[in-house]
Structure 1
Amino acid sequence: MTQVDRLAMEIAETYEDAESRADVEASESKNSDMALPSHGMQVRESYTMHGHFQLLAAMLQGAEKVRVYMDQDSGIRAAFLAAFVDRIKERTADGWYVSVLKETTIHDKEAAVKLARDRLKAEAETHPGLDQDELLVELMKREMRCATRVGQYDDLWLEHPMPSMSEPAKKVCWLTDLGDYDEEHAARLYSKASLHAVDRFFMQTRRRLSMAERSIITASKDRRVWHGHSAYRPENLAMTLETFRVFYNYCKASDDGRTPAMRLDLAKGPIQLEEVLYFQGKA
């Protein structure tokens, strides 16, 4: 079974899992790995997602276009569509599912990247004079013509023709395709599909915050989960994550000198962390 076949199977299984739930938007389930907190309260995942996208819609109301590439999750889909429904109708907002195969070996990742490079080289011989981005668009047009329908909503999925080491196999589904974009425009939007940015945020969260480390299963009789640096008061972790989120989006500049907030026109420049930590609102 190829990596793409494995990914297609995972996508189909995700649809089946969502369809089997009483509430298609609810993906929470309590088991040996997840339980209600002993202190405080846990907000339902669907409430959090809807609140998140409603906040995004308010913050980005001045943006000319909004393009959202999201995990394959029925709750995220519902929250995005509810928050941006008017802009979707106005054709100033669009959303895509992106599914990436993550459980694979370095050898398979390298093989996938080499195959993509060979494919791009062959395309360059067919279309001399085109740059790499234009060649990718041509490859994407070809994939668009052989997209397949999956799941209870007959969503159209296609394979992204240029995988990377971090995303060795990738499939994309356009959730808001109303058939009014020309093929060139649609192909360029498909080609931008990636989860790399959000995966990078999660990776840095775990690396920088000891309280966010992955759990360690002990050798005890009940195989209890132990967190070496765990915040046994959940509110402490929540406050730490909130501080890190602000730092990542408003303080931490990339090589180009810009922060994520600057790219969204939410800030004019990087903010010093001290300004955040010692900020005192107006009385």
Structure 2
Amino acid sequence: MEIAEVPADRLYNRIDFLAQQCRDFAAHKDKNLWKCFNGQDRVLSTDVQAILANWRHAKRILNVPIHHAVTVERDTGYVVAATTDYDAVEDPVEIEREMHRLGDFADPRAWRRHGRVWAYDEYRDSLVRGIQSLLSEEKKAFSSNTFDIPGKGARVRGDIFQAAHVMLVKKLIGSGYDQLLHCVDGDKGLAKLSASIFAKEVLAGRMHVADVHFTKELGNRKRDKLVRVGEAAMAADQVILGQLAATAGATYGLTYPVARLVAARLLRDYGAAFTGDRGQGLATAGYNWRYHRKEEPEKSIYLLTDRGDLSFGDLANLLTRASMAPVDKYFAQARRRIKAFDRGSRPTAGKTTWYVNAFYDPEMVDKAATILRFYYNFMLPESADGGKPKSQRQTPAMKIGLAKGRVYVRDVLSFS
């Protein structure tokens, strides 16, 4: 703003306009997203990123967390949905007054008239319970605006937020797909929620849910070492299970060597077991992925929806494709492209964190997420790492079939 001498109000007005244009343009395109899923086998990955906003008041000692949920299609990288748990319209104080008037607090939360967003005191009490070790007795006694969301708006409750996100995904992709695998990142609650929302499809054997765990925050040296361990494990399995893998490949029509090995391991472990035992084992003990990949070292896959009607070949294909890498890649892009989404630095004194680039208005998180999703889907072509000439590089929207070419800034600004 200083270099271009752009007043702050003009900058924020332009951000508001751009976010609305991106929202409208994306909605226009997303109306046809279901066509891109018709008759297809698709894999979706869903994860939640915590973005911290700074406090506004001199006495505030807490950051304000805003959750950013994203679902990405595996093969194309298309971001199906990106939502936040912040509602700029609702007023938690007014909601609490209404709840007292209606007697909402006397009912279980599932039966309340107002159960979507946090009431003011409930939100404050929840925050205080979560940070008891960081607060002095004097700070615990603070009331009023010390622990609420700064400015206007309310936080949407976590379970409602997750359910709304998955329901939006279900609405956008339609029901014409052949097979769908939904992967979540170490969140059994979200996995069970997805299975319940897609219950009819799960019972029909068309939809599957996998809870994917892997070791995070490893350095490159440890990741590279695990990759070498995985390569050695694959070489050993090709010797030990070679004959069984070849039989599985021929029986189930598996073309990829890793899928053949996975099928061979499944046949060895569950071939003589009852179908219920196989499903129980994959849901509780999980499947240990021995062939470590750099982006997902020491991965385990918990498949919650194996009802016994899948062949070992189909099951091997599901486990081979289960991955959180697409959504992790998007979150990495978000941190690089939007400074306010990056992790902050902790000061040398005190236990709270101030984020020099963070937003002070939580509503800005949703606007930035809307703009980023549109840019990533429709304007950002794949990198040169794939070896394609520049003229052949596609955006995720082009790969999935929603766009014939790149969208440019002029297209966004003139959309109506």
Indicate yes or no: 2:139 matched with 1:38. no
Shift of 1:63: 2.5
Deviations along 1:133-172, whole A, 9 cap, x unmatched?
63312332354354899x9x96240111221112121000
State whether structure 2 residue 381 is matched by structure 1 residue 228.
no
Give 3-state SS (helix, strand or coil) of 1:272's partner. coil
Equivalent in the alignment of 1:54: 167
Residue 202 of structure 1: how far off its partner (Å)? 0.6
Is 1:188 aligned to 2:312, yes or no? no
Cα-Cα RMSD: 3.3
2-structure distance, mates of 1:279, 1:167: 41
Specify the code of the residue in structure 2 equivalent to 1:89. Answer: L
Structure 1 contact 36–42 (Cα < 8 Å) conserved: no
The 1:43/1:193 distance shift into structure 2, 3 A limit, reads same
Task: Determine helix, strand or coil for the equivalent of 2:260.
Answer: helix
Alignment-mate amino acid for residue 140 of structure 1: V
What amino acid sits opposite 2:360 in the alignment? Y
Work out which of the residue numbers 202, 208, 211 in structure 2 matches 1:94. 208
Give the equivalent residue in structure 1 for 2:297: 168
Matched letter for residue 235 of structure 1: E
* Secondary structure at the counterpart of residue 48 of structure 1: helix
1:49–1:75 contact (8 Å) kept in structure 2? no
Contact 1:253–1:270 (8 Å) recurs in 2: no
Q: 1:88 to 1:239 in 2, by over 3 A?
A: same
Amino acid at match of 1:250: F
Does residue 139 of the first structure (1) align with residue 238 of the second (2)?
Answer: no
Match of 1:217, SS? coil
Which residue in the other structure is 2:217 paired with? 103
Give unmatched runs, 5+ long, in structure 2: 1-108, 110-122, 135-146, 271-276, 387-391
- TM-score using structure 2 length: 0.53
Q: 1:274 to 1:53 in 2, by over 3 A?
A: same
User: Which structure would you say has the larger RCO, counting Cα contacts within 8 Å and 6 or more residues apart?
Assistant: 2
Identity %: 20
Answer yes or no: is 1:243 the counterpart of 2:409: no
What amino acid is aligned across from residue 231 of structure 2 in structure 1?
Answer: R
- 1:195 Cα deviation after fit: 0.9
Which residue among 253, 265, 268 is the counterpart of 2:403? 268
Show the 5 A alignment for 1:45-84: 45-61=158-174, 62-84=176-198
Which of residues 190, 210, 225 is equivalent to 2:339?
210
Q: Give the number of aligned pairs.
A: 251
Taking structure 1 as the reference length, the TM-score comes to 0.76
Residue 275 (structure 1) shift: 5.6
Pick aligned residue for 2:413 from 266, 272, 278? 278
Change in Cα spacing, 1:112 to 1:219, as seen in structure 2 (3 Å) is: closer
Q: Distance in 2 between matches of 1:64 and 1:159?
A: 27
Say if 1:45 and 1:114 are closer, same or farther in 2 by CA, change over 3 A. Answer: same
